[in-house]
Amino acid sequence: MKIRLLTSLIRNALKRPFYVFYQQRLTAAARTTWKLPKHIGIILDGNRRYARDQGLSRIIDGHALGANKTTEVLDWCFELNIPVVTIWIFSLDNFNRAQDEVDEIFSLIEEQTRNHLETGTIHKKKARVKYIGKIELLPESLRKAIEEMERSTAHYDQLFLNIAIAYGGREEITDACRQYLSDGIAKGTSTDELLKNLNPDSINSYLYTSGQPDPDLIIRTSGEVRLSGFLLWQSAYSEFYFCDIFWPAFRKIDFLRAIREYNIRQRRYGR
C-alpha cells in the first residue's frame, strides 16, 4: 500500500506542471468562448470506494473528503456563474446502509451545513439554497440546520443551489402527482376534471425544482453509468457526462472537461 501511494505521489508530481497549464487553457476557454449550461446536476459518487482504495481507517473519512470536494466544486460552478446547481448528497436507498454510517453521514452534513451558515461562498455569491427530498425523514437537529440555511439564503436570487438529500426521483414524481390531485380536490375540482387536465405542465409546477430550468448537464463520478433516479423527470433532454474518478479525487480539470464536452455537443431535444 505504501509503495503504491508513493508511486502515485511521484507520478502526480511529474504531471502537475502540465495539468496546471492545461487547466489554465480550459478555464480561459470556458470564460470566453464556450457555451455554458444554465443548470448542472451532480451525482457525487464514490466516497466509500475512495476510502477503501486509499486505505483510510474509517469510511466516514471518505465522506468527509467528499464533503470538502463538494465545497470546492461549488466554487468552480460559482466562478463560471452557473445559475443553477443541483447536487445529490444522500439518496433514499442510502438509508439501507449500516445505521452507524448513516448517523455519521448525517452528523457530517449537519456540521457542513452549519459551517456554511457562518462562512463560505454561499453568502459571498448570494446563492439561494433549497433542500429537496424527504426532509421529514432526517434527524431533527439536521432538519433545524436545513431550515436555518434555507431561511438565511431565501432573499438571494443571483444563483440557486439545490441539495438533494433523502431524495428519490420516483418519489419526487409521485409527490408531484399527489400534490396536484390534492390541491385540485381542495379547490373543489372533480376527479374527472383533474384527470382531463393532467399534462406534463401540471406536473412540472409541483416538482421539487419548480420554477427552475431543467438540468442541461448531469455529471456522475466513480465510473457508474446510470442516473439511479436522479431528477428523472427533469433530465429528459439533459446531456450526461460520466467519469471514472471517485468523487473525493475529482479535479477542476475533470470538471472543465465535462463543461467542454457539453460545449461541443449538439442538443436536439428529441428532434
Confidence of residue 191 (pLDDT cuts 50, 70, 90): very high
Q: What is the pLDDT of residues 22-75, one digit of tens each?
A: 788 888 888 889 999 999 999 999 999 999 999 999 999 999 999 999 999 999
The number of beta carbons lying within 10 Å of the beta carbon of residue 103 is: 12
**At which residue does the C-alpha cell 439554497 appear?**
129
Tell me the residue ranges of DSSP E strands in the chain: 39-43, 84-91, 127-132, 159-167, 217-220, 239-242
Helix (H) or strand (E) holding 161: strand 159-167
Assign 3-state DSSP to the chain and report helix, strand, coil percentages, each to 5: 55, 15, 30
Task: Identify residue 163 by its one-letter amino acid code.
Answer: I
What distance in Å separates the CA atoms of residue 268 and residue 117, rounded to the nearest whole number?
40
Report whether 131 contacts 86 (CB < 8 A).
Answer: no
- For the four alpha carbons of 257, 259, 260 and 265, in that order, the dihedral sign comes to positive
Q: What is the pLDDT of residues 113-131, one digit of tens each?
A: 999 998 877 898 899 999 9
Burial state string for 18-42 with b = 16 or more CB within 10 A and e = fewer than 16: eeeeebeebbeebeeebebbebbbb
Q: What is the pLDDT of residues 211-237, one digit of tens each?
A: 999 999 999 999 999 999 999 999 999
What distance in Å separates the CA atoms of residue 45 and residue 63, rounded to the nearest whole number?
10
**Residues carrying an active site annotation:** 45, 94
Q: How much is the pTM? A: 0.91
User: Rounded to 5 degrees, what are φ and ψ at 189?
Assistant: -75, 135
What percent of the chain stands above pLDDT 70?
93
218 has which bridge partners? 41, 240
Residue 15 in this model has a pLDDT that exceeds 90: no
Cell numbers standing for residue 185: 380536490
**At which residue does the C-alpha cell 502515485 appear?**
8
Q: Is 157 exposed, middle or buried (0-12, 13-18, 19+ CB in 10 A)?
A: exposed
